[in-house]
Amino acid sequence: MKIPRLTFWRAVFLVVVALGLYSTYVRFMHGLGASTHLSDRTPWGLWIGFDVLCGVGLAAGGFTMTAMVYLFNLKQYYHLTRAAILTAFLGYIMVTVALLFDLGRPLRLWHPLVMGNPHSIMFEVALCVTFYSTVLAIEFAPCVLEPFGWKRLCAIIDKIKVPLVLFGVLLSMLHQSSLGSLYLIVPGKLHPLWYTSPWLPVLFFLSAVMVGLAMVIVESFWSGRALGHKPDMKALAPLGRIMLVVLAIYALTLLQIRWSRETLGLIAAGTEESYLFLLEIACGILIPGILLAMPRVRLQPRGLFTAAVLVVLGFVLNRMNVSVTGMAAISGEKYFPAWTEISITLMLVAIGCLLFNLAARYLAVFPHHGPAAPRVPARADAAVPEYMAAERS
């Protein structure tokens, strides 16, 4: 057996996982009190804010891409869907594992499924996430089945693809927006720069679509570098334009809400919240918006990549603002995650990246890579040449 060479990144990975495992031990042997900086005043911290809120959002590429390809028939993006589904699938697994860390009684994760309270947004989210993870597992299955030549099963999945995708898209619309609705009940606690009833769910949904597209671009570049193939700018640049449109809609909605609520003044108030809000807007909307609006930048790999990364960062900042910063003033406590909290989050991210890498190498995720991808064309991609030919004639 060949022992893998210890590169810099592998060393980082090992350190992160080792620290994460130690923190896992602290979390489960000594409890949340010993392993986190959570308190009665700050009951939700990094794990809910980043692992859950951002994790679900960053996985939104799965439903946006499948909707575009299978429902709107934009076949030119077909080759991006599998990577997007993989990211989404891994994202939801990470979210679930993070919940096992965060719940006081993780073994009761299933309780909402049997004793649900229909008035609770959290219950609705739990149901949607459970169903959607199942949908993602089925959507992802061909990537695993194809290399093993299980064509029959793939054909069955292919047959139900359209209703399956539709179901997944509806579930995603529901829970992506509902993560915002979670905060509707705290008008007195969430800072007015982020609290907007009843618009929070709309903003959460729009920003999820936006960041989903951004993630597809980012991961195309990363996997391209890792696997040694060039990013397909022919598909990614138009994706950048769609992202720009969603960005504009999001920005307009936000502006309209701020305007009508006369909270525009709060933005210029010079408080810590106002700076973070401005940073979020500049990093996540303004700068990437300007970059994407310039064809010169958008059509160029580096420009597109930069804009997409900025959108992702702005999104993460937004979710952290809603879940942590925006709630801090009223709680009267400054929360900063404990190193054990951070190390567990880092460990989950690292393992997610590793799994993505392994899947990209050994499963049929990328058309120009992996063992069997081009060999067994599913019905959808079989339609590509035909359709394109028809378009041209």
Footprint of other proteins on this chain (CB under 8 A)? Answer: 28-34, 38-41, 43-44, 67, 70-73, 102-106, 108-109, 111-112, 115-117, 119-124, 126, 162, 166, 169-170, 173-174, 181-182, 184-189, 197-198, 201, 327, 331, 386-387, 390-391, 393
Measured from the CB of residue 369, what is the shortest distance to other proteins in angstroms?
29
* Residue closer to other proteins, measured from CB, 16 or 103: 103
The least distance separating other proteins from the CB of residue 241, rounded to whole angstroms, comes to 19
**Smallest distance from the beta carbon of 187 to other proteins, in angstroms?**
6
Whose Cβ is closer to other proteins: residue 187's or residue 295's?
A: 187
Q: Within 13 Å of residue 111, how many CA atoms lie on the same side as its CB?
A: 10
Measuring CA to CA, how many Å separate 231 from each of 182, 226, 241, 375? 37, 11, 16, 21
Min dist CB 111 to other proteins, Å, is 5
Q: Residue 70 or 132: which CB sits closer to other proteins?
A: 70
Q: Could you identify the residue written with the tokens 């009508």?
A: 260
Q: CB of residue 41 vs other proteins: minimum separation in angstroms?
A: 7
CA dist., res. 53 & res. 321, Å (int): 11
Of 125 and 316, the one with the shorter C-beta distance to other proteins is 125
Taking the complex as a whole, how short is the minimal distance between the CB of residue 158 and other proteins, in angstroms? 15
Residue 262 or 391 having the CB closest to other proteins = 391
For other proteins, the closer of residues 116 and 301 by Cβ is 116
Q: Name the residue nearer to other proteins (CB basis): 45 or 303.
A: 45
**Cα–Cα distance for residue pair 329/200, rounded to 1 Å:** 19
Q: Closest approach of Cβ 103 to other proteins, in Å? A: 5
Nearest approach in angstroms of CB 15 to other proteins is: 26
Which CB sits closer to other proteins, 262 or 302? Answer: 262
**How many other C-beta atoms are found inside a 10 Å radius of the C-beta of residue 212?**
27
Question: What's the chain look like in SS3?
Answer: CCCCCCCHHHHHHHHHHHHHHHHHHHHHHHHHHHHCCCCCCCCCCHHHHHHHHHHHHHCCHHHHHHHHHHHCCCHHHHHHHHHHHHHHHHHHHHHHHHHHHHCCCHHHCCHHHHHCCCCCHHHHHHHHHHHHHHHHHHHHHHHHHHHHCCHHHHHHHHHCHHHHHHHHHHHHHHHHHHHHHHHHHCCCCCCCCCCCCCCHHHHHHHHHHHHHHHHHHHHHHHHHHHHCCCCCHHHHHHHHHHHHHHHHHHHHHHHHHHHHCCCHHHHCCCCHHHHHHHHHHHHHHHHHHHHHHCHHHHCCHHHHHHHHHHHHHHHHHHHHHHHHHHHHHHHCCCCCCCHHHHHHHHHHHHHHHHHHHHHHHHCCCCCCCCCCCCCCCCHHHHHHHHHHHHHHC
Nearest CB to other proteins, comparing residues 40 and 262: 40
> Taking the mean position of all CA atoms in its chain, how far away is CA 387?
31
The CB-of-71 to other proteins minimum distance in angstroms stands at 5
Residues 84, 66: contact at Cβ < 8 Å?
yes
Which of residues 126 and 285 has its CB atom nearest to other proteins in the complex? 126
CB of 326 to other proteins, least distance (A): 12
